[in-house]
Amino acid sequence: MTDTIYQKTFKETLSAVGIGVHSGAKATITFRPAPANTGIIFKRTDVTGKNNEIPATYQYVVDTRMCSCFGNSDGVTVSTAEHVMAALHAYGISNAYIEVNGPEIPIMDGSAKDFAFLFDCAGLSEQRTPQKFLKIKRNVKFDDGKGATASLSPADSGLELSFDIEFPAKIIGHQACNLKLTPQTFKEQIAIARTFGMKEDIERLRQIGLARGGSLDNAILVDKDKIVNPEGLREPKEFVFHKVLDAVGDLYQAGMPVIGRFYGNKSGHFHTNALLKQVFSDKRNYEIIEAKPAGKN
Ligand SMILES: [Zn+2]
């Protein structure tokens, strides 16, 4: 979190197996410790003869239509990275190699709950290098001209997130939330919120060969005014909390934790990425600060 003073990485290497939501293919994800100032690097272990490393920053985002997909100049990509990025952001993990033996990060249960559990199991170690933060200095807003906006404004400390969503399906309707990112809000509200889809959209995606791995085990399925999943929702505002989860993950494309207030109004991966590009396009919008050990301020 933003009170972290030193950079952090994993204490131990840990792996998990899951399936890709679009391909339906089994994939193994492995989290490895990395030296200070490495940042978050995805590594495609199934790719040979090309650069298989992809830094997880906003400049490397190549597709935002269905998820956040990172790619390098050799055309090597890794998709569905946003939920794991959210857990990394919330845990303040600055440096890690994340290996995956296929093009998609496993979807797990559609939330970030399993990644949070894995990070708790691996444990974190502090590195003797100060953590950097992206501190927002001016209001920056991205408006897509079609009714969706994403903005960042200054805050004294930490990351505060507000979100509004509006869906024609009455079971979702209008949902709003406002919270501060803390280990507790992340674990209790954000990390558990699953991705969701409309039944008619899933059928359309299946026809074009996508969402093959999608099932009631890894998404909330909404059929007009009812939830298809027999277990129902994990919490009444699960939909808007999932949007917050995506935003926490996408904001970590800054390459460091963000100090500011984020507001998303019907926004998605594309908007958050466009917002970050806008922030970094003008040096007056931000400051990169280092958290100094107590007494040295
Ligand atoms: Zn998501």
Closest CA to 159 of 39, 59, 245: 245
Q: What is the pLDDT of residues 21-60, one digit of tens each?
A: 988 999 999 999 999 999 999 999 999 999 999 999 999 9
Distance 264 CA to ligand 1 centre (A): 14
pLDDT of 213 reads: 87
168-190 b/e with 16+ CB inside 10 Å = b? ebeebeebebebebbeebbbebb
pLDDT of 292 reads: 64
Distance 194 CA to ligand 1 centre (A): 7
Q: Ligand 1 (ion): which residues have CB within 5 A? A: 195, 246
Q: Could you give the residue numbers annotated as active site?
A: 269
Could you give the CA distance from residue 95 to residue 82 in angstroms, rounded to a whole number? 16
253-269 b/e with 16+ CB inside 10 Å = b? bbbbbbbbbbbbbbbbb
Residues lower than pLDDT 70 in the chain: 1-4, 292-297
pLDDT of 293 reads: 53
Which tokens belong to 7? 């950079």
pLDDT of 218 reads: 93
Distance 195 CA to ligand 1 centre (A): 5
pLDDT of 296 reads: 45
Distance 216 CA to ligand 1 centre (A): 15
pTM for the model:
0.95
pLDDT of 200 reads: 87
pLDDT of 5 reads: 85
Distance 243 CA to ligand 1 centre (A): 7
How many CB atoms within 10 Å of residue 106?
24
- Please name the residues in contact with 27: beta carbons below 8 A apart, sequence gap of 6 or more: 17, 18, 19, 20, 100, 101, 102, 104, 105, 106
- Please name the residues in contact with 84: beta carbons below 8 A apart, sequence gap of 6 or more: 29, 98, 105, 112, 115, 249
pLDDT of 89 reads: 97
